[in-house]
Amino acid sequence: MPDKKAKVNAKRIKVRELSRILRASERFLDSLTYENKNMVLFIRELRMILKSYGDMDGEKFLEMLKELFKNREIKKVSTKLDEIEIKSLSLDKLKDLVSDKSLSTKELLLIAEKRLGIPTGVLKKMRKELIRSKILNTIQNIEKLDAIKKKASE
């Protein structure tokens, strides 16, 4: 949670300033003939989105973003940081996540591969509900193996 100084400073910042920084980053990466052109395009697109919020102060903008994403915390799946998050989820939370019908096939495949080590080659050809079912069955199998291991160690 940010301290009061951070909030005070956020009030002084306008979203337009962030847009300018992104523009400078875009130019810098472009001048280096940066290999990841997708990153340059992403920065450009983000900057275009931010344009309509230019006069908004930083604090209001951050609050708007927090409100927008507050109920999506568990659904973070698509970035490398999220892969780390997926790996650290308990099996119960993982089941809840996989049971979420709004997850895309791509997100399910990422969970299968990164968290459970399931090869995705065959899964890619399946319907989303069948992928979900395979993942849930794998989680149940892991739980059963954990229970057997626990009993054996007693």
* Nearest-angstrom CA–CA distance, 14 and 102: 34
Which pLDDT score, from 0 to 100, does residue 81 have?
36
The pLDDT tens digits for 28-73 are 887 776 666 778 888 888 888 888 888 888 888 888 888 877 765 5
pLDDT at 76 over 90: no
**pLDDT per residue over 103-123, tens digit each?**
888 888 888 988 888 998 889
Q: What is the DSSP letter of 57?
A: B
Cβ contact 41:82 at 8 Å = no
pLDDT of residue 127: 94
- Among 79-88, 131-140, 144-153, name the one with the lowest average pLDDT: 79-88
pLDDT of residue 126: 93
C-alpha–C-alpha distance, residues 132 and 26, integer Å = 39
